[in-house]
Amino acid sequence: MLHRTLTIALTLALGGLGLSAAAQPAPLALPAPSPHATVSQTVGVTEIAVDYSSPGVKDRNIFGALVPFGELWRTGANGATKLTVSRDVTIAGNAVPAGTYALFTIPTASTWTVILNKNPDQGGTGDYDQKLDLFRVEVTPTAAPRRERMTFLFADTTDDATRLDLEWDEVRVSLPISVKTADFARADIDAWVAGAWRPLAGAARYTSETLKDGKRALALVDASIAVQETWYNVWIKAGIVSGTKDKKGAYKLAQRAWELGEKDPGFFYKSQVAKALKEWPKK
């Protein structure tokens, strides 16, 4: 009976607004007191991002009042602020492995303690566990132009470094971040080169079988073998050479493909290579 009464009342109310129960208004969108914000920066080949909620000053005394001195602060509003790094970095002299962390602070009038905690999924300070701290570092705040909303921003970015600034009211707190970009680039190049034999071998096969360009196919497969000799690219070269007058060379390549393939559990062309060794002339 109560449910029926409420339904009738809602229908009458909507009718009074010229609406029906089937034509509900769109969800009400209002400004959030502390809107969600993100900021990110690429440093060389490393992505660094901060995810936070941004409270406003709103004519309040902030540090030492709204944000008490000497107490753990989630460094924002709503959930704890998150810092994500896509690769290993160094923050204020501390090694930080790639991952996502919660960023806490303990402000005082003269210094701030900045904390990076290994548990990024925290609603605030209630679930904070100091045992999960990756590091704590003491920094000195500086004066900054007044900023209404708490903001994170990156400054002085190069290929190897950046600075993460927290600004709110008339205070700035900075964290230097350094990245071993040259080491990452070198490792990426080595990994790319090490894997380049596969696309080069595939290109050689397609160029030979579909484009019918034996000369270019041979150059591509030789480039693949130069990176890393495998049964697969040697077998592709054997197939290319078998279409020329060098039958002896094709047979030797098939032999080499067989030798390499016998050591590889992924020797999926074993039967084709064996058949070639029986049918192709040795001389």
Domain-wise residue ranges, the chain: 33-178, 196-279
Distances (CA, A) of 126 to 129, 210, 279: 9, 65, 76
**Higher-scoring residue by pLDDT: 121, 21:** 121
In 28-55, which positions are buried (b, 16+ CB within 10 angstroms) versus exposed (e)? eeeeeeeeebeeebebbebebbbbbbbb
* CA pair distance 142, 165, nearest whole angstrom: 11
> Quick one: which of 148, 44, 64 has its CA closest to 107?
64
> Strand order in 46-53's β-sheet?
36-43, 46-53, 81-85, 99-107, 112-117, 133-139
pLDDT category at 1 given cuts 50, 70, 90 is very low
**Higher-scoring residue by pLDDT: 79, 266:** 266
The secondary structure element, H or E, covering residue 258 is helix 247-261
* CA pair distance 142, 174, nearest whole angstrom: 9
* CA pair distance 221, 191, nearest whole angstrom: 19
Residue 15: its pLDDT value, please? 53
CB 26, CB 15: distance < 8 Å = no
Tell me what the pLDDT averaged over the chain comes to: 92
The pTM is what? 0.80
